[in-house]
Amino acid sequence: MSDLALFNPTDLVLEISDQIKNEAWRNSQTAATPTSRWQVYLNQVALNTVLPWLREEQDHAVRVASQVSLASIWEVVNGTSLTVGDSKLVLIPSEADDLSELRVAQEWIDLPQWRGDYYLAVQVNLDDNYVRVWGYTTHQKLKTVGHYQASDRTYSLTEDDLITDLDVLFLAWELCPEEVTQLEVAALPAMSATQASNLIKRLGDVNILLPRMAIPFQFWAALIGQESWRRSLVQKRRGLPVRGSVVEWLKAEVANVVEEFGWRQVEFQPSMVGARGANNVIDEFDAPSEIALAKQLTIANQPYELKIIPLDLEAGLWRFELRSLALGGLIPTGTILRLLTEDLEAFEGNEDVATTAVEELALEVGLDSGEGLVWQVIPTPENYEPEILRF
């Protein structure tokens, strides 16, 4: 590492280990282009260097998205979001030696669900093996004082407008929890599944080097803000098979694909699927297998499991089931299990509400082949991002 005397005494300087560099390099090799490969690598190095320090220094829980989700973001946008307690931090890595300004991609500012509370300027020096956090600011300041450049869709602040001492940030968390860090941003236009499919097909062309600049921001943000659409786009740009249907996921040979999206195959006893609709639509369980899909969720620090059970594949009948994984655990009053169309529209009988503490919440639906659904649970699980499940 370079002589520490060269750094501002308020800078946070962390050494990059060989292990972090090697792992980040391996993880970056599936990226679609040399540019995105380097972006994945840089963000991974920055995150894996800062994260252990943050977890050691902070009493608050520090959470990050899954590796698959992060990689899909880094493929198209520079920056990493992580949550510390109730605050959202966005790391903005750069290799630049010029620390005169911080430039933040518009996605981290104007995409409602991506906006952060605090933005950290992170210099990554791979030659001298260090990461330097040299300043921070807030969403509020980037929106009110920052300069927007349409040419690369970024907001920037000069170093004079940044706070360089991270201790100030930590004190703000402790002493000023009511500090206004975010401003409201305009809602994005609704995007239909057909529009998304067309855009994925178009922007999946790897010859489009900067897909984020290829279409108007509102459409781009609406596309990548939906995790399943973003992953499909990245899969296509990487030349990989796009996300399959739930029916395909029930086949043993695609188990690895299922795990990539956070689901796993589980066996179940058909006799346990007894709670049918009031009309008792199915008299006998006739699914061709006893394999269901399950995803573990963390809600209010408690473990839960969401299952998708095929009641009758031929008839397109499915059961969604939410249970607590805690020993003897119940689902608290007020919890909601909800299903929406892939255009995020509600439909009759699309939610089950716990009016008292219950063992399970369940919904049974009939779907046409190829139809998509989005699941929601209220309160929202940790690291939740909407995903379209196609049947």
Q: Which among 391, 375, 245 has a CA at the least distance from the CA of 315?
A: 391
- The sign one gets for the Cα dihedral 132, 57, 40, 27 is positive
How far is the CA of 3 from the CAs of 49, 50, 123, 130, 287, in angstroms? 19, 20, 16, 11, 67
Pairing of strands 372-378, 388-390: antiparallel
Distance CA 209, CA 34 (A): 10
Q: Which among 53, 135, 120 has a CA at the least distance from the CA of 81?
A: 120
How far is the CA of 277 from the CAs of 82, 247, 307, 362, 365, in angstroms? 41, 22, 17, 10, 9
Question: Tens digits of per-residue pLDDT, 83-92?
Answer: 998 899 999 9
Q: List per-residue pLDDT tens for the chain, 391 residues long.
A: 555 556 788 889 999 999 999 999 999 999 999 999 999 999 999 999 999 999 998 888 899 988 888 999 999 999 999 999 889 999 999 999 989 999 999 999 999 999 999 999 999 999 999 999 999 999 999 999 999 999 999 999 999 999 998 888 888 887 887 889 999 999 998 888 889 989 999 999 999 999 999 999 999 999 999 888 898 899 899 987 666 788 888 876 666 667 777 888 898 876 555 444 333 334 444 444 588 999 999 999 999 999 999 998 889 999 999 999 999 999 999 999 999 987 778 999 999 999 999 999 999 999 988 888 999 999 999 878 778 888 9
Q: Note the pLDDT of residue 279.
A: 37
Contacts of 256 (CB under 8 A, 6+ apart): none
Distance CA 277, CA 387 (A): 25
Question: Tens digits of per-residue pLDDT, 214-272?
Answer: 999 999 999 999 888 898 899 899 987 666 788 888 876 666 667 777 888 898 876 55
Edge-to-edge strands, sheet with 264-267? 264-267, 291-299, 302-312, 317-324, 360-366
Question: What is the SS3 assignment for 350?
Answer: coil
3-state DSSP: the chain helix, strand, coil percent, rounded to 5?
A: 30, 30, 40
CB contact at 8 A, 130 and 14 = yes
Question: What is the SS3 assignment for 91?
Answer: strand
User: What's the number of CA atoms in the CB half-sphere (13 Å) around residue 27?
Assistant: 23
